[in-house]
Structure 1
Amino acid sequence: MFGKRPLTRAPNRYRKIVPIFIIILIVVMLIKGFIWIEENIRPTFLAIAEARAKIIAFDAINEAINERVAQNIMYEDLVLVDKDSDGQITMAQTNTMEINRVQAETVRRVQNTLRRIEGEKVNIPLGQVLGSQILATYGPSIPVTLVPIGTVHVDVSHSFSEAGINQTRHKIYLEVYADVQVVIPFISTSREVKTAVPVADTLYMGDVPDTVVELPFPIKDNSNIQTRGFQSESSNTNSRTSFDEGNSTFNEPGDSDFGQSNFGNQSIDGGEPSIPYFNK
């Protein structure tokens, strides 16, 4: 009479909702993971990849210039110096034809060198991308491919600097500009590589004076200066500008034994010279 109630199964709709909910949850987690990678790991990874690419490009460019171009460049070939009968330099001008030849040779050498690194791969550990010092060398390696793009541009620049009294140092540089493309999984970017290599240097030496005087400029604001004008015979008008009304004296500490030096009484026939006075 009182039998057991038969067990009923859950409706089929609940069994269909659970897998759909799990799939949606997985998709949301994947989207959030990609967003986190895009905001945190991607900038760091790009910075490391670009730094590695620039180092390799710098080494290739410097090798092409130093070993094959700079050794065959002489300063006398790039700059023509004219001298007078006494051997003094009167004019210096650049040799445009030689500079154009050096630029063309540098472009050709650098392009050939960059072609050798085309397709070169650099592996960056994932631990280094995550910024961990302990796991910097561990984890799966992410390959980075270098591809030189565009053309190489070369400019010649000059710099002048003081090297002593009447001495000037002249340096000539080769400035090389090249574009390198960094290719990594799902990301590709290009960066400009710029380097300047000195190729010629000389020192121009002028006449060295027997005496060199260094004046303590600027003059302090509390310095008092008095100037006397010339007095002509036709006019008894004295032009005088005074910043210190009183005796114009010049006293140095420790000169009390010699007294005060009053230059106001000095005179020369034909007028009174203008003499500056410093009163401390």
Structure 2
Amino acid sequence: MFKKPLSKRMRGFVPLIIITIVIFILIQFFLFIENSLRPTFLAIAEARAKIIAFDAINEAINERVAQNIMYEDLIIVDKDSQGSITMAQTNTMEVNRVQAETVKRVQNTLRDIEGEKINIPLGQVLGSQILATYGPKIPVTLVPIGTVHVDVSHSFKEAGINQTRHKIYLDVFADVQIIIPFVSTSREVKTAVPVADTIYMGDVPDTVVNLPLPTRDGAQGSENIQSNNQSNTNTQNDFFGNQESQNNSFIEGNESNQENIRSIPYFNR
């Protein structure tokens, strides 16, 4: 038997079917990438974009702004005749100047990274550790948008007995647009950079008593007494026991001596 040869119309129709199938497969492949891999790809792109933005902001503050900032310029400390601190107030004019200079420096630095591209391998997007560095490179473009906002914040932490550490931060907020194939998104980059700090020293008391709060059953915790006097000596008397077995101490003397006897304090461990 002989096969019937295809007509010219059929021979022209077969390539069209093949092309249609290939186009359909490609469309399904791109839809799969967009729907399945887009969240992972966006997370990787955002992480890398934030690292670049953080580095740029920190460089602008640490190398160009923080070097010219002194704590005494930002905070005015008032003392009494004995040298004790009575009040500390913010130098508003100097703080405003630092904020304006920081905004200018950060904007110029972010402008330098405008259009910078990040190439992410497709294997990394797929989550494969073996193919993390292989596959076609997907470009990611960074574009700073909007304006930079700078705030000044303070933190106070205990640094010792009657000592307080005061830190001054510059909180920088900047918007960065992340452009990748088929999608574009913007994210806010926030960072806090310490620019000045100091420790306020107060008077150290001779005795510090630490009394813990009572527990649920009403029992009282241990009492720790630390004494710091001129002779640097500490005295502690411990008595242990219960009602059935307890050592009784007696002090014998005449009636006049017994009237002058004072009770000896005790401390429970």
State the TM bucket, normalised to the shorter chain: 0.7 to 0.9
Structure 1 counterpart of 2:248, which letter? Answer: G
Contact conserved, 2:173 with 2:188, CA < 8 A, in 1?
A: yes
The residue matched to 1:209 in structure 2 has which SS? Answer: coil
Deviation at 1:142, TM superposition (A): 1.6
> Which residue in the other structure is 1:232 paired with?
none
Which ranges of structure 1 fall in alignment gaps of 5 or more residues? 225-249, 262-277
> Which residue in the other structure is 2:172 paired with?
176
> Which residue in the other structure is 1:97 paired with?
93
Contact conserved, 1:251 with 1:260, CA < 8 A, in 2?
A: no
Matches within 5 A, 1:35-46: 35-46=31-42
Structure 2 counterpart of 1:206, which letter? Answer: G
Aligned pairs, how many? 236
Deviation at 1:219, TM superposition (A): 4.2
Distance 1:214 1:255, change over 3 A: farther
How big is the alpha-carbon RMSD for the aligned residues of Structure 1 and Structure 2?
Answer: 3.2
Deviation at 1:35, TM superposition (A): 2.3
Deviation at 1:19, TM superposition (A): 6.0
Distance 1:14 1:199, change over 3 A: same
**2: CA distance, partners of 1:255 / 1:86:** 57
**2: CA distance, partners of 1:114 / 1:185:** 22
The residue matched to 2:203 in structure 1 has which SS? Answer: coil
**2: CA distance, partners of 1:14 / 1:207:** 101
Superposition TM-score, scaled by structure 1 size: 0.74
Candidates 142, 148, 152, aligned match of 1:152: 148
Superposition TM-score, scaled by structure 2 size: 0.77
Distance 1:7 1:155, change over 3 A: closer
> Which residue in the other structure is 1:213 paired with?
209
Contact conserved, 1:177 with 1:195, CA < 8 A, in 2?
A: yes
> Which residue in the other structure is 1:133 paired with?
129
**2: CA distance, partners of 1:260 / 1:120:** 84
Which one has the largest radius of gyration? Answer: 1
Distance 1:18 1:206, change over 3 A: same
Structure 2 counterpart of 1:82, which letter? Answer: D
Deviations 1:232-256 (A, max 9, x none): xxxxxxxxxxxxxxxxxx9735994
Matches within 5 A, 1:1-280: 22=18, 25-219=21-215, 221-223=217-219, 252=241, 256=245, 258-259=247-248
Deviation at 1:52, TM superposition (A): 1.2
Contact conserved, 2:240 with 2:246, CA < 8 A, in 1?
A: no
Which ranges of structure 2 fall in alignment gaps of 5 or more residues? 221-238, 251-266
Structure 2 counterpart of 1:114, which letter? Answer: L
Give percent identity, aligned residues only: 75
**Range with greater deviation from structure 2 (183-192 or 19-28):** 19-28
Contact conserved, 2:169 with 2:196, CA < 8 A, in 1?
A: yes
